[in-house]
Structure 1
Amino acid sequence: MRRVSVQCMPSLTVSGRSWWSSPSAASWSCPPPPSGAAVFHRSLPGYRATPLSDVASLAAEWGVRRVVVKDESTRLGLPAFKALGVYYAVYRVVQDLLGGAAVQPDVAALRTAAQRVPGLVLVTATDGNHGRALAHVARILGVPARIFVPDVVSSAAIEAVRQEGADVVVISENYDDTVALAAADSASRPGAVLVQDTAWEGYETIPQYIVDGYSTMFGEIDDQLGADAASLVVTPMGVGSLAQAVVTHYKSRRQRVAVLGAEPDSAACVLTSLRAGRPVSVSTGATVMAGLNCGTPSSLAWPYLREGLDATAVLSDAEALAAARQLVDAGIPAGPCGAACVPAVRSVLADPGGRAALGLTSESVVVLLNTERSREHPGEGEG
């Protein structure tokens, strides 16, 4: 498991009420992600790079050369990016459970290997898409899945998980408490393995596999941009695992690439933690950005967020919904979580110091990560 040594806390600058910046993030660096995830993903049936689409209206609004959206709404037959992390994590977990035995990077070999693990049951807690992805992979591999879901998640998202054949347990708790219940349940069941996309002390190996799996997305972006290079990458944030993958990819390079995180104002655990200088938990409620409705940063993600985020912005449900409509009108079927990137940029640029904090010029290329499919499109699911 790779770790990042934290030398010091960067000085954070509050700019208005809705965003923070970290000037020292521009010069911070970290080791690159491992290369094996992309090789594995390319072996999967139906794999293809998801689209990267220009949105000229946003480029004109923000005074930059290009704004492009990485559209994860059809990743591996599911409505969100989560399958990248889940597939790769299960691949690595099965190898670990077989004593480190090598498994060829293809589904047939993985299915055979998974069924050699005595009593294997895949367990997780979810706001929707992560659990659906795990249930989907479990069905393909012919092993059971047990998925815990907070009752604030939409009935459509819960039903989508059930349709994958998983045992779904709906809990009248928030996301953090649901994760704790899933962890306790997996620990009590012989053969059960928790495949969770957040980390805490003592549970970090599998979440790191998930983060490593997300890295395939950014290699695709590099290839799709070609001679261009990203100047700013904007990512939605829940517990921060996707943001950790973004930071790992772009801060392991020589050229400056700014990273901006976006989170709901009703579940701003990252901004609150940055303000406190340590990971803290916040109370959460219902939000249209269900996949970002998380109260505690991942312990693995925290050093990357603290050191590598150039800025963090919070936004309202109304802003996310308006941005989703704008992206849908532009031909990108974005849901509220992915659309959160748009008002995050607007929030920063509304401040006189925001443009400089993000390092934007008229020649900049801004990459927005649309992490989920719109509710108006079939197969809808949250994060």
Structure 2
Amino acid sequence: MSENVSALPTPPWTVRPGARTWRCAPAPAEVRDFHAALSGYAPTPLIELPVLAGELAVGRVFVKDESCRLGLPAFKALGVSWAVHRLLGERVGSGRGRGPVTLVTATEGNHGRAVARTARLHGQHAHVFVPAGVHRRAVAAIVGEGAEVTAVAGTYDEAVRRAAEAAAARDAVLVQDSAWPGYERIPGWIVEGYSTLCAEIDEQLAALGLSEGPDLVSIPVGVGSLAQAVVTHYRSRDRGGAPALLAVEPEAAACVLAGLVRGAAVSVPTGETAMAGLNCGTPSSLAWPYVQGGLDAAVAVPDSAAAGAAARLAALGVSSGPCGAAALAGLRTLLGGAGAAERRRALGLDATSVVVLLNTEGASANPHHTSGQ
């Protein structure tokens, strides 16, 4: 089967019956306790939006609002803080932790800033590689955290390659949120860090009398690490009522959708997109078995859909960038237009369903993404 997303039906999407029965091991329980002990930690809001529930013809809609997480405008600090904690603890235990270390990464914005902030808080150095098209304000925010920044005249995947080479050439450690064969331990820690977000959702829904959890979770997807964390959370328990899990990607970089259609991980060429943090052409090798096994569906959306969703959330009082708004854009795309009733049935949604949208970034996290700036 071709991995060419343009050959898929309109809207480009796929559904996979049986994903809710797939099982995996849970994330470590101590991650949540670690985050709870951090200075400035508080659970991010779970905001109910009845107006959206009416528009989508479901029972209740909640937005997990990551527009301010540990002082940064995106969820990424959860994964980075846990991974750096594990990394520095390991270095001290092995006797290599006497001096500062340089943490190297590639980013479209949010992850790199989280690495830079965490390095600064721990008295370490950071070197961040940014691909072409990342907005100058996003770069300035990373520099403002004290990091060295190197611009790469190429794609995100090329920036990752350059970062890996730089880390190998000096006394440095690559802290990347994407994995490949031979580089999976630190990305695995980053994924574990994201589990706190899901644990908070459980607690917040239970406080509202919804202890059975949601019926569907919509997840913006780049390399798939957040999706891996969400799949791990919901597919590691045997109780009933497992939710449908929906991945949403830009049409310009729909590598997970293409892989699910083909039945194997693939790399796809990427184009320009306002959903900068999702502009990834290759899924994480660590995430792929989880997204292939545990995702119910995937959809690719155009920039116009993400922009419209961000505007709708803003009108309802939720700050969201294009990446965070992709969760709403994907669900709106599937539940509207020709064939919507069939897609609704495939996702198991009806007028009583509870939906959670992961708003992974605030509006300030992702300025307009324009090539060459």
Same fold per superposition (TM over 0.5): yes
Q: Deviations over 1:268-324 (max 9, x none)?
A: 011111122111111112211000000000001000111111000110001100100
Single out whichever of 202-211 and 31-40 deviates more from structure 2: 31-40
CA contact 2:255–2:282 (8 Å) conserved in 1:
yes
CA contact 1:56–1:67 (8 Å) conserved in 2:
yes
Give 1:1-383 correspondences, 5 Å limit. Answer: 16-99=10-93, 116-190=97-171, 192-226=172-206, 227-228=209-210, 229-253=213-237, 254-255=239-240, 256-350=242-336, 351=339, 352-375=341-364
Q: CA RMSD in A?
A: 1.7
Q: Deviations over 1:13-43 (max 9, x none)?
A: x764411000020221211111111111011
1:382 Cα deviation (Å)? 9.0
1:88 Cα deviation (Å)? 0.2
Percent identity, aligned pairs only?
52
CA contact 2:66–2:362 (8 Å) conserved in 1:
yes
CA contact 2:116–2:147 (8 Å) conserved in 1:
yes
List alignment gaps of at least 5 residues for structure 2: 1-7
CA contact 2:107–2:156 (8 Å) conserved in 1:
yes
List alignment gaps of at least 5 residues for structure 1: 1-13, 102-113
1:83 Cα deviation (Å)? 0.2
Q: Deviations over 1:170-220 (max 9, x none)?
A: 110100011011001000002x00000000000000000000000000111
Q: Secondary structure at the match of 1:353?
A: helix
1:58 Cα deviation (Å)? 1.4
Q: Secondary structure at the match of 1:266?
A: helix
CA contact 1:84–1:214 (8 Å) conserved in 2:
yes
CA distance, structure 2, for counterparts of residue 132 and residue 292 of structure 1: 16
Structure 2 counterpart of 1:235, one-letter code? I
Structure 2 counterpart of 1:76, one-letter code? L
Single out whichever of 305-314 and 347-356 deviates more from structure 2: 347-356
| TM-score, normalised with respect to structure 2 | 0.91
Single out whichever of 117-126 and 203-212 deviates more from structure 2: 117-126
Q: How many residues align?
A: 353
Structure 1 counterpart of 2:22, one-letter code? W
CA distance, structure 1, for counterparts of residue 343 and residue 334 of structure 2: 5
CA contact 2:109–2:138 (8 Å) conserved in 1:
yes
